[in-house]
Amino acid sequence: MADLPFGFSHGDDPDRDKPKKDPNPGSQPDPFGFGGAGFDMSDLGQIFTKLGEMFSGGNAMGGGTQSGPVNYDLARQLASNSIGFVKPIPEATTTAIADAVHLAETWLDGVTPLPAGTTKSTAWTPSDWIDNTLNTWKRLCDPVAEQISSVWASTLPEEARAMAGPLLAMMSQMGGMAFGSQLGQALGTLSREVLTSTDIGLPLGPKGVAALMPDAIETLAEGLEQPRSEILTFLAAREAAHHRLFTHVPWLSSQLLSAVEAFARGMKVDTSGLEEFTRNFNPESLADPSAMEQILNQGIFEPKATPEQVAALERLETLLALIEGWVQTVVNDALGDRIPGTSALSEMLRRRRATGGPAEQTFATLVGLELRPRKLREAAALWERLTEAIGSDARDAVWQHPDLLPRAEDLDEPAAFIDSLVGGDTSGIEQAIADLQNDEDKRTDD
């Protein structure tokens, strides 16, 4: 996991596991594990005092109100400030995007049984992107932020915990500001670089709204040989294909977001960094908001991969790869004979993902997850072979239930998965559909 989230350190200190020399050899051992370096309960009391002074006059660090683990008012403000002035999108551009989406939908109808999932097409400015995706970012970031915030309580010594009531609330608020600051900076950058609402592979925007980003597309087109009209239609087709999945595979969006939440729930934190933090901590810094933000961002805690996280990460990586591979397959089938540059554009986007484009980097930074690009090529190859073997109707039938989808090992060795479908083994499909119908009936009865 590169670019760990919210001020986590990478834990690459070669001397981390070596015994630390006591800077005060004559001092008594610290019974609370804080390193015996001048940090005692009176220092903790001073911290509480400084924090109380800072918050007694209201929100001294600015940034609006906060009702959860992340200060999203601050995030929105910082993101908007980084964008600056936004020119209105000409009506002709909006019309061109609508026409491109309509044309792409017509062509996609011939290569997939999944019907159109878009009810509206539009052009977004970077500010529009932030306004329309922030609610989804909240669901992605909150589980991670909540886990990190809870670490403060779990790491305090028992003797200190009784004194920590005010501290925990204050640290939660300051942590929310630090998270909001990092989120705002990242989203401000990403909003100027994403090409569509689904560019990151997740359903970030409103359901059924196909949104393209004209400014980012224009910047992309400047370095390509294909005509802008072809690039626009290609990206419109990718956006429309994503919406077909997210609209007509009802479990897909919730499975994606649930995998992120499962990753956060499995997080465990190595608190050894707390020793160094407390040894060098100066309570006077709490009076300075900028110093406080620096403290929160310096990497006090280091996350450790757990079996639960590894399993959640594999599920998420596989699902994102299957979505991306399916979109690439159906777009190439729909546009390949009509737009000569389709293959080149697909390869360009694949390289963009493989080299860690802005979407991947931001997702890794904000959520602590990184999609391994290796799986994208393999997922696309599996869908292509499946289309050749059983046709598009049977291929897309596997989206009816998550248990029917290829697993991670199927991406590495797809032959057995394809053979099971070619051989006509539909027992899994029939049982999954029956289970799904039973679930629907129970919800109706309730």
- Please indicate, yes or no, whether residues 123 and 187 belong to a single structural domain of this protein: yes
The pLDDT tens digits for 228-259 are 999 999 999 999 999 999 999 999 988 888 88
For residue 21, tell me if it sits in a domain.
Answer: no
The pLDDT tens digits for 103-148 are 999 999 999 999 999 999 999 999 999 999 999 988 888 887 887 6
The pLDDT tens digits for 385-394 are 999 999 999 9
Structure tokens given for 13: 């200190």
The winner for highest mean pLDDT among 200-204, 360-364, 403-407, 436-440 is 403-407
**Residue 83 clears pLDDT 60, i.e. is over it:** yes
Alpha-carbon gap, residue 94 to 122, rounded angstroms: 6
Contact call for residues 323 and 380 (beta carbons, < 8 A): no
- Among 140, 79, 213, smallest CA distance to 365 is for 140
For residue 64, tell me if it sits in a domain.
Answer: no
Q: DSSP strand E in 72-145: where?
A: 120-123
Alpha-carbon gap, residue 72 to 138, rounded angstroms: 8
- Please indicate, yes or no, whether residues 247 and 343 belong to a single structural domain of this protein: yes
**CB proximity list for 253: less than 8 A, separation 6 or greater:** 203, 246
**Domain of residue 403, residue span:** 374-445
Number of domains in the chain: 2
- Please indicate, yes or no, whether residues 49 and 89 belong to a single structural domain of this protein: yes
**What type of residue sits at position 342?**
T
Contact call for residues 285 and 51 (beta carbons, < 8 A): no
**Residue 216 clears pLDDT 80, i.e. is over it:** yes
- Please indicate, yes or no, whether residues 222 and 73 belong to a single structural domain of this protein: yes
